[in-house]
Structure 1
Amino acid sequence: MTSSSSWFLKMCLSFIMLLFFLIFNISPSFSSPTTASLAEKLIRGMNLFPKDSINLPENDPHFVHGNIVEKKFTFPGFDDTSASAEELGHHAGYYRLPNSKAARMFYFFFESRNNKDDPVVIWLTGGPGCSSELALFYENGPFQFTKNKKNLSLFLNEYGWDKASNIIFVDQPTGTGFSYTTDDSDIRHGEDEVSNDLYDFLQAFFKEHPQFTKNDFYITGESYAGHYIPALASRVHKGNKAKEGIHINLKGLAIGNGLTNPEIQYKAYTEFALQRDLITKDQYDTIGKLIPPCEQAIKACETKGGDACETSLSICTDIFNQILENTDNINYYDIRKKCEGNLCYDFSKVETFLNKKTVKEALGVGDLDFVSCSSTVYSAMQQDWMRNLEVGIPSLLEDGIKVLVYAGEEDLICNWLGNFWWVRDMVWSGKNEFGASPTTPFLVDGEEAGMLQSHGPLAFLKVKEAGHMVPMDQPKAALQMLKDWMQGKLTKTRKGDSVSPM
């Protein structure tokens, strides 16, 4: 296996994603016996076994007129029968992508449990190619699985983000989760295509649900969504300025443990690893020699694109790999933990549940199988990985769009340090003021849950005792973070209180 392939498996790109992806290797032209064996090992690490690398049916199972086909539903196995589907306001639907031959995007929409006037939030899981249902059931969605191993039943998540927002979970890019196409030319390869598809979807969504157009709108997600989120925010803002279609009331974007500026974030790997005693000073010095050629390769990706971007990934891969080689079976999504045998996480319930016939009937997905992570999508987006998506954020800040970057402190793969560095170094009118602002505690019920640095519309939050998936590890703090941020309260908790370094 090439160092590039090896890295991808460990690189900071989707919360489960990365893992997931490599897992499945891609199309036959990319596969080899070595890659296949590693893929099998990695997929077992997440206890996921998607049957196919992508849903590519011969005939469209949802051939209907109109852009959106949506239905209200209740999940089979949901223990709380006190509310009807109508009262819960849970929707599942397909949207036919107009700039495609036959692509349909699957989504969930959950109305707020608190107030329908709450903001509308869209959540994007990373990968590229991992389904947002992974977050829906294991992080910040309305549901969680019961601990009963024999009976796959659900209960309401006490800290689901639908307690503070009307939230949309989207399976994208095309081929992820229950999304599909009958024409493989619809597979996406970069952020322009991805953001246009999502913008088109949002236009159709708000046309279908006009009562929500007045609500504030926020874009959120994690890991490789550090690419998706800024791209979509820029596309929405551009559409609003040009008065395209329905005005989307964009107020902010939040990136959790994301990959946004690879050039800066790759440089942080050795520093983070040294600070957390994952490597020695001698190892730090040796691995550090790989950083200058990595930086040069990333610059070539930015100017030349195409193959230069894949080359940069190959060159930069060794930084992460060499750090891992000096650890003892560490879980690089949460360095407090080790993987037990092949198993680092067990997310198998989501695959089992969503592939049940009764569940698929309730959702209206026909006989399509749930593809937890699509290796085909992953492969198609390879030249997108090393691009810098920070570049579109300053203009959003200048126009008053709020930006929150948060990161669990125990994550290695998209660690807090690399995310803080790119936020700190980003050039905008408030750069100096942000750099000089004090670091203050983020409090939840009077207890310190993280460290916050902010100025104007920009905030950075390091979350305590959390790994790559903050809403899974610290659900109460994550929900409080969302509420405070949307309400404009995610600010310094004590005047003049400075805690340094972060």
Structure 2
Amino acid sequence: MQTFVHYAVALIFVFSFVVQLDAVTVNPLAHICPTNKIAPRRKRYDTHPRTFGQFYNLLTPNNSPSSLQEQPQEDLPDDCGDIEDYDENDIGSVTQRPIRRQGYQRNHFKKKGSSHSHRPSQQHLINQHNQYGKPPSSKPTRPPPAGYFGTNSYSPPKPQQPTEKNPYLEALERKPWESVHKYIEVRRGAFIFYWLYYADGVQYGSDHKPLIIWIQGGPGHAASGLGNFAEIGPLTMDMRPRNHTWVNGRNVLLIDHPVGSGFSYAVNETLLVKTDKEAAKDLLRAIKEFYNTHKEFRKTPTYLFGQSYGGKLCPRLGYYLHRAIKHNRLKMNFKGIGIGSGWVNPKLSTLAQPEFLYNMGVIDQPTYTKAMKLARNMSYLIDKKEYATAETLDNTLFHILILEAGMEINFNNINQPSDHSVVTDLAEKMNRYVKPTLQGVCQTLTWTWLAIEVYESLSDSFLVPSNKFLETLLDRTELKIAVYNGNLDVVTPLAGAANWVHALKWHGAHEFMNARRIPIRGDKNGFYKAAKQLSFWAVFGSGHWVPEDNPTAMEHILEYVIEDTNLVHPDINTKS
């Protein structure tokens, strides 16, 4: 009898645990805190690892999506639409994924539009990996459109001493910014973290002001830190007020995506997304659940802004959102899209890179000739949808550009030096000062600016374009769409962006081609042109990170897209 009682108690415990795991909007403090977050150098290589992920899989043997939405906002396959899906053709192509090289890879560091390229010693890489109990492995061999943070030398900071001051809390004491942060389970065992800043830092009445959903690039860069403190949030990386924050008069929703980036996590590595379609579907589920939780924003004018690889995902995600709204499966007042430094058409952006570097004097003619030959071969393979083989050539292209330039190439801003120490400091501040204040975040997770495993998991999708989704949005919707790009950007050169924007096939293409250019607000900040709902902005003095490099131009773009005359946003002439 006693044995039966023990058995019954055990069953009740397991049942209650499974029920607890079915939650959608998650407070990790009320759940088991996973220690095997999929993030750089945090994988375990034990022969018999004992992780929460393994126990979770025993309880949930299948990974079928849980019921995430209240009716009528269910998530159905039809939300993905009827456009030819590049991803299905991409991964099934005859070419196979290229083998990653060991040793030196291209390492471009990104902060404020800057990148850093250096040649780390092999022993340095070995020591760096071994401090996490992980054998050396190859780095991603291609700098992502949002920059590149290979050889991440960040190590977890020492625990904060009781008497130590917290500059983040001190900044919030001077100016409180009301916000909310939560987890959403987008697939069973896959959790996305979001951070919502209320307009002007005040929750009351915020639903009457526009909402911007920010999609970071990478893939694998963390919006909770980079987008937040390095670009558009209320505080800078020095924990000082940002004069040009997007939170002035607007609500800003930052999403750590794909799963495994920033504070988002997966209970095992198999849950990492491998295609743009999977990444966009996770975002779709997260946004649906956001509106289920924050119903007050369902009528709020909402705008989707993406940067770099996030800009590449925006057309696909925007299309999924549009279809979900059209079929009454999502209540959202979707008004427009902003694409900044977008990797929308990798073919045309890559073709413009060698010429940009040659015209700037960074490479000489022999290097230019070799680079252009590689870029044209890449273009041919992309047209044939042999993306994996094309990526191999892309790796070779970047090696040539780096090794033969004879100088550090800042791929995010050709005129700026690297600033490695600043972003390293940001990672330390995120873990030491910011993370302890986020009550919904598991404190055993280490925040990093780039999740290497996430980046590598999506590597076969790097060169897959998304321009067809953008063309469909222009033809089938009234969404206002702004594309903007800096003139100092090497990853997505301005000429490449201009080429793919003018090559879009839609009903307003002829009118757009002949539209007159208009100066952007301020002194020599560039030009924009517009036809129907599409506008294109050539931003001067800016690299890959337009919001931080040229806030005056960025503010003009925001006002143009949002067009809310009830809000007053003064011109910004200086950076904070």
Quick check: 1:449 aligned with 2:541? no
Kindly, what percent of the aligned residue pairs are identical? 22
Letter paired with 1:456: K
Q: What pairs with 1:317-356 in structure 2 (closer than 5 Å)?
A: 317-324=395-402, 325-339=404-418, 344=420, 346-356=422-432
- Say which SS state the counterpart of residue 109 (structure 1) adopts: strand
Residues 399-430 of structure 1: CA distance to partner in whole angstroms, max 9, x if unpaired? Answer: 12121111111111111111111001111111
Q: Which of 178, 184, 188 is residue 89 of structure 1 equivalent to? A: 178
Q: How many residues align?
A: 436
- Say which SS state the counterpart of residue 289 (structure 1) adopts: helix
Residues 366-421 of structure 1: CA distance to partner in whole angstroms, max 9, x if unpaired? Answer: 32221321111011101111101111011211212121111111111111111111
Unaligned runs of 5+ in 1: 53-73, 147-153, 302-307, 490-502
Q: What pairs with 1:306-455 in structure 2 (closer than 5 Å)?
A: 308-324=386-402, 325-339=404-418, 344=420, 346-356=422-432, 359-367=435-443, 368-398=445-475, 399-444=477-522, 447-455=523-531
The corresponding residue for 1:495 is none
Once the 2 structures are TM-superposed, how far is the Cα of residue 322 of structure 1 from its aligned partner? Answer: 2.9
How far apart in 1 are the matches of 2:105 and 2:230?
Answer: 25
Q: Which of 239, 264, 267 is residue 348 of structure 2 equivalent to? A: 264
Q: What pairs with 1:49-448 in structure 2 (closer than 5 Å)?
A: 49=154, 76-81=168-173, 88-97=177-186, 100-113=187-200, 116=206, 117-132=208-223, 133-146=225-238, 154-244=239-329, 246-301=330-385, 308-324=386-402, 325-339=404-418, 344=420, 346-356=422-432, 359-367=435-443, 368-398=445-475, 399-444=477-522, 447-448=523-524
Q: Contact 1:279 / 1:326 at 8 angstroms: preserved in 2? A: yes
- Say which SS state the counterpart of residue 200 (structure 1) adopts: helix
How far apart in 2 are the matches of 1:472 and 1:335?
Answer: 15
In structure 2, the CA distance between the partners of 1:443 and 1:419, relative to structure 1 (3 Å rule), is same
Residues 453-502 of structure 1: CA distance to partner in whole angstroms, max 9, x if unpaired? Answer: 2211111111111111111212233233212221189xxxxxxxxxxxxx
Q: Contact 1:17 / 1:126 at 8 angstroms: preserved in 2? A: no
Aligned alpha-carbon RMSD (Å): 3.5
Q: Contact 1:278 / 1:326 at 8 angstroms: preserved in 2? A: yes
How far apart in 2 are the matches of 1:292 and 1:213?
Answer: 46
Residues 60-116 of structure 1: CA distance to partner in whole angstroms, max 9, x if unpaired? Answer: xxxxxxxxxxxxxx99423353555xxx4311111111xx22111111100111862
How far apart in 1 are the matches of 2:538 and 2:457?
Answer: 32
Q: TM-score, normalised by structure 2?
A: 0.68
How far apart in 1 are the matches of 2:410 and 2:484?
Answer: 20
Once the 2 structures are TM-superposed, how far is the Cα of residue 163 of structure 1 from its aligned partner? Answer: 0.9
Unaligned runs of 5+ in 2: 1-98, 158-165, 566-576
Q: Contact 1:75 / 1:359 at 8 angstroms: preserved in 2? A: no
The corresponding residue for 1:471 is 547
Residues 333-384 of structure 1: CA distance to partner in whole angstroms, max 9, x if unpaired? Answer: 1111344xxx556212321122126742434213222132111101110111
How far apart in 2 are the matches of 1:34 and 1:175?
Answer: 19
Q: Contact 1:309 / 1:383 at 8 angstroms: preserved in 2? A: yes
Q: TM-score, normalised by structure 1?
A: 0.78
Q: Contact 2:527 / 2:539 at 8 angstroms: preserved in 1? A: yes
Letter paired with 2:543: G
In structure 2, the CA distance between the partners of 1:451 and 1:38, relative to structure 1 (3 Å rule), is closer
Q: Contact 1:218 / 1:253 at 8 angstroms: preserved in 2? A: yes
Q: Contact 1:7 / 1:318 at 8 angstroms: preserved in 2? A: no
How far apart in 2 are the matches of 1:457 and 1:256?
Answer: 16
Residues 172-193 of structure 1: CA distance to partner in whole angstroms, max 9, x if unpaired? Answer: 1111001112132211111221
In structure 2, the CA distance between the partners of 1:402 and 1:18, relative to structure 1 (3 Å rule), is farther
In structure 2, the CA distance between the partners of 1:89 and 1:379, relative to structure 1 (3 Å rule), is same
In structure 2, the CA distance between the partners of 1:19 and 1:131, relative to structure 1 (3 Å rule), is farther
The corresponding residue for 2:50 is none
- Say which SS state the counterpart of residue 204 (structure 1) adopts: helix
Residues 196-232 of structure 1: CA distance to partner in whole angstroms, max 9, x if unpaired? Answer: 1111111111121111111111111211112221121
Letter paired with 1:315: L
Q: Contact 2:350 / 2:492 at 8 angstroms: preserved in 1? A: no
In structure 2, the CA distance between the partners of 1:455 and 1:213, relative to structure 1 (3 Å rule), is same
Q: Contact 1:173 / 1:188 at 8 angstroms: preserved in 2? A: yes
Q: Contact 1:257 / 1:408 at 8 angstroms: preserved in 2? A: yes
Once the 2 structures are TM-superposed, how far is the Cα of residue 34 of structure 1 from its aligned partner? Answer: 6.8
Letter paired with 2:405: N
Q: Contact 1:400 / 1:457 at 8 angstroms: preserved in 2? A: yes
In structure 2, the CA distance between the partners of 1:380 and 1:225, relative to structure 1 (3 Å rule), is same
- Say which SS state the counterpart of residue 273 (structure 1) adopts: helix
Instruction: Pick which of 291-300 and 398-407 moved more.
Output: 291-300
Letter paired with 1:234: Y
Q: Contact 2:109 / 2:149 at 8 angstroms: preserved in 1? A: no
